[in-house]
């Protein structure tokens, strides 16, 4: 059901230590731990120096390189694009916002100021939309014929096709030119990917598989510089900043993982629920994706905790509980009364106590830090999740599948995304008003869109998740039952189409609806970006792409 994964290195703390030991050249985990402690104390001074050097380099870029950029020049936008792709743009937020704002003001009329070349127009369009400015799809009309089809001769411009494809990812519903742009550029790039040199081949393949708007720079930054043959002063400076920043981030990640492992081990749930997933590192990666900003360390740690319980409660419903037990557990959560657990089996009692105490603990922390008690919102979110799990348990226990849309409506709740995002909203503490809290409780599009994306990716059924021996549903199966003429291939195509529609709704929220703070909006966007990595199983029921990315993130050098 919710947020699944596979791999030994994403399991218990001893396995994490063993994986670290292997990658570090230590065969004995205990020896590795001792060595790690010794290095940690010895590197405090070195880390301090690195932090100072990073601050100095950032100031040099701001005071020398950045001030030399003409506010109306295309070069400034190219620099912003590189900053974002290298995942260092948070050091230059004020400068970036100022330049984007001024350039947008210069392009107030359709097509005016966007430039004459595909690359210029597409990059301006994409950056404007990424920063919340509406750029009309009409700027691409000059490249279309009377039927609004892109002119065939454009297909010879591979770089232009890449830029058009990247821009089309920010489309919202009803934008026919952008839909045609994605279709045309995607077809051209797929057709030519084997006809260009190996360097260009890799670049095009990465763009098709992981367009920037739908990817996490956290994972893609280290491959980005390989796309540049030529070096220049500002690119070299950005590379230096990226390397220093990456080294500091790795230190933070290791520290945070250690705190989460200690918390998780202390709960003892892994010992009591021996068949449940035991993957604190994986759960942390979800929170890291949502809160990628390096200043949000505390928030990452806290968000990992409810994410872990989504998995555990999901396993209780999928693997452990009988229908009668699951009904009692759901009733206990809905009553939210610690005395209600007496009639539950022991393993459910332990889980409910952890859920009850954690929710009170997080509520207390939010109140102390932000002056708002979120207890009722958090309780209601957990109640909704357990109700959705119970609905699915009854469906699959009876063998009677619901309609596809009934399944999907319930599945967006059982995905667990609402739990993640409601906790994220209160942990961030921005925009805490009665109106916003009421909207959050109703699961608005900023939450339901990534939830739909997650649910449908999960249901594509590339492989069975680990340890999931119980019944599990699938939108694909519901659709095939409902539409007898649908083959599995057709049903999967319908799923991909619905994922595309959900992305357009999410783009709409990011572009036009400014109800919530940008950090929260980005957390929702990042969660959606993380989904393909978390669900691209291979035939061995594992996730080699994610495993490779996480190993690289935690243990490799930047370049």
Query: Which one of 191, 220, 238 terminates a domain?
Result: 238
In a domain, 200, yes or no: yes
Q: Are 441 and 304 in the same domain? A: yes
pLDDT number for residue 62? 92
Q: Are 452 and 508 in the same domain? A: yes
pLDDT number for residue 228? 57
Q: Which two tokens stand for residue 18?
A: 């063993």
Q: What's the rounded Cα separation, in Å, for the pair 516 and 507?
A: 14
In a domain, 534, yes or no: yes
In the numeric block, the tokens 């791999």 are attached to: 7
Provide the pLDDT confidence category of residue 200 given band limits of 50, 70 and 90: low
Q: Indicate the range of 31-35, 478-482, 519-523 predicted with least confidence.
A: 31-35
Higher pLDDT, 108 or 206: 206
Q: Which two tokens stand for residue 20?
A: 């670290």
Provide the pLDDT confidence category of residue 10 given band limits of 50, 70 and 90: very low
In the predicted structure, residue 492 carries a pLDDT above the cut 60: yes
pLDDT number for residue 229? 53
pLDDT number for residue 181? 97
Q: Are 275 and 201 in the same domain? A: no
Q: Are 176 and 283 in the same domain? A: no
In a domain, 108, yes or no: yes
Indicate the Cα dihedral angle 154, 137, 518, 446, nearest 10°: -110
Alpha carbon 471 to chain centroid, angstroms: 27
Q: Indicate the range of 79-93, 198-212, 403-417, 463-477 predicted with least confidence.
A: 463-477
Q: Are 232 and 373 in the same domain? A: no
Q: Could you report how far apart the first and last alpha carbons of the chain are, in Å?
A: 37
pLDDT number for residue 44? 57
Q: Are 525 and 408 in the same domain? A: yes
CATH number, domain with residue 164: 1.50.10.130
In a domain, 33, yes or no: no
Residues spanned by the domain of 146: 50-238
pLDDT number for residue 227? 58
Span 190-203, mean pLDDT?
75
In the predicted structure, residue 269 carries a pLDDT above the cut 70: yes
Query: Which one of 238, 253, 281 terminates a domain?
Result: 238
pLDDT number for residue 469? 46
pLDDT number for residue 516? 94
In the predicted structure, residue 365 carries a pLDDT above the cut 70: yes
pLDDT number for residue 46? 66
Q: Are 205 and 327 in the same domain? A: no
Provide the pLDDT confidence category of residue 198 given band limits of 50, 70 and 90: low
pLDDT number for residue 464? 46
pLDDT number for residue 157? 92
- pLDDT tens-place string over residues 213-264: 999 999 998 887 665 555 678 888 999 999 999 999 999 999 999 999 999 9
Q: Are 350 and 208 in the same domain? A: no
Nearest to 308 by CA among 269, 271, 346: 269
Q: Are 83 and 191 in the same domain? A: yes
In a domain, 15, yes or no: no
- pLDDT tens-place string over residues 144-163: 998 999 999 999 999 999 99
Query: Which one of 238, 254, 285 terminates a domain?
Result: 238
pLDDT number for residue 430? 96
Q: Contact 336/379 with Cβ under 8 angstroms?
A: yes
φ, ψ (nearest 5 deg) of residue 400: -105, 110
What sections of 87-197 are H helices per DSSP?
A: 93-106, 118-130, 158-168, 176-192
Q: Are 229 and 273 in the same domain? A: no
Span 541-549, mean pLDDT?
82
Count of domains in the chain? 2
Among residues of the chain, what percentage have pLDDT more than 90? 67
- pLDDT tens-place string over residues 18-36: 333 333 332 332 322 223 3
Mean pLDDT of the chain: 86
In a domain, 245, yes or no: no
Among residues of the chain, what percentage have pLDDT more than 70? 86
In the predicted structure, residue 541 carries a pLDDT above the cut 80: no
pLDDT number for residue 543? 77
pTM here is 0.89
- pLDDT tens-place string over residues 53-89: 999 999 999 998 888 888 888 899 999 999 999 999 9
In the numeric block, the tokens 């202390």 are attached to: 266
Q: Indicate the range of 164-173, 306-315, 474-483 predicted with least confidence.
A: 474-483
Q: Are 273 and 234 in the same domain? A: no
Q: Indicate the range of 177-186, 411-420, 451-460, 547-556 predicted with least confidence.
A: 547-556
CATH number, domain with residue 272: 1.10.600.10
In a domain, 22, yes or no: no
Nearest to 77 by CA among 111, 116, 115, 103: 103
Q: Contact 86/225 with Cβ under 8 angstroms?
A: yes
pLDDT number for residue 199? 60
pLDDT number for residue 42? 45
Q: Are 438 and 534 in the same domain? A: yes
In the predicted structure, residue 8 carries a pLDDT above the cut 60: no
In a domain, 16, yes or no: no
Q: Contact 474/461 with Cβ under 8 angstroms?
A: yes
- pLDDT tens-place string over residues 99-122: 999 999 888 654 456 778 899 999
């Amino acid at each position: 059901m919710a947020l699944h994964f596979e791999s030994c290195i994403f399991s218990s703390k001893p396995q994490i230590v063993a994986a670290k030991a292997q990658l570090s050249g230590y065969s004995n985990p205990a020896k590795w731990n001792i060595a790690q402690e010794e290095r940690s104390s010895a590197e405090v001074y070195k880390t301090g120096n690195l932090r100072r050097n990073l601050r100095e380099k950032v100031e040099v870029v701001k005071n020398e390189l950045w001030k030399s950029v003409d506010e109306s020049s295309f070069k400034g936008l190219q620099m912003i694009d590189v900053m974002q792709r290298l995942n260092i743009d948070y050091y230059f937020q004020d400068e970036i916002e100022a330049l984007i704002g001024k350039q947008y003001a210069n392009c107030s009329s359709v097509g005016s100021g966007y430039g004459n070349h595909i690359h210029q127009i597409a990059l301006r369009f994409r950056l404007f939309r990424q920063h919340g400015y509406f750029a009309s799809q009409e700027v691409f009309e000059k490249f279309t014929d009377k039927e609004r089809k892109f002119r065939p001769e454009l297909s010879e411009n591979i770089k232009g096709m890449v830029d058009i494809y990247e821009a089309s990812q920010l489309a919202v519903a009803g934008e026919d030119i952008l839909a045609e742009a994605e279709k045309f550029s995607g077809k051209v790039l797929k057709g030519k990917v084997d006809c260009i040199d190996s360097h260009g081949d890799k670049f095009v393949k990465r763009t098709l598989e992981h367009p920037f708007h739908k990817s996490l720079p956290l994972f893609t930054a280290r491959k980005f510089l390989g796309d540049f043959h030529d070096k220049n002063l500002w690119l070299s400076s950005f590379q230096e900043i990226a390397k220093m920043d990456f080294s500091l981030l790795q230190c933070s990640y290791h520290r945070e993982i250690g705190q989460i492992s200690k918390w998780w081990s202390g709960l003892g749930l892994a010992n009591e629920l021996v068949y449940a997933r035991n993957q604190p590192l994986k759960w942390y990666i979800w929170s890291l994706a949502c809160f990628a900003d390096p200043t949000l360390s505390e928030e990452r740690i806290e968000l990992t905790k409810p994410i872990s319980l989504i998995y555990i409660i999901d396993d209780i419903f999928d693997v452990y509980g009988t229908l009668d037990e699951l009904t009692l557990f759901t009733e206990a959560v809905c009553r939210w009364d610690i005395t209600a657990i007496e009639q539950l089996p022991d393993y459910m009692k332990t889980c409910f106590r952890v859920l009850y105490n954690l929710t009170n603990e997080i509520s207390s922390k939010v109140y102390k830090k932000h002056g708002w008690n979120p207890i009722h919102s958090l309780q209601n979110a957990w109640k909704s999740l357990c109700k959705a799990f119970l609905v699915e348990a009854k469906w699959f226990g009876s063998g009677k599948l619901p309609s596809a849309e009934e399944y999907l409506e319930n599945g967006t709740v059982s995905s667990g995304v609402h739990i993640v995002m409601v906790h994220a909203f209160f942990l961030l503490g921005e925009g805490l008003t009665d109106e916003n809290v009421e909207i959050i409780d109703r699961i608005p599009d900023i939450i339901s869109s990534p939830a739909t994306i997650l649910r449908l990716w999960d249901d594509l059924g590339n492989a069975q998740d680990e340890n999931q021996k119980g019944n599990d549903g699938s939108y694909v199966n519901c659709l095939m039952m409902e539409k007898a003429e649908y083959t599995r291939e057709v049903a999967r195509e319908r799923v991909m189409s619905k994922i595309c529609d959900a992305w357009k709704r999410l783009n709409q929220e990011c572009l036009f609806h400014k109800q919530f703070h940008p950090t929260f909006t980005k957390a929702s966007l990042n969660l959606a970006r993380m989904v393909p990595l978390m669900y691209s199983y291979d035939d061995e029921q594992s996730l080699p792409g994610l495993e490779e990315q996480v190993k690289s993130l935690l243990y490799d050098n930047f370049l």
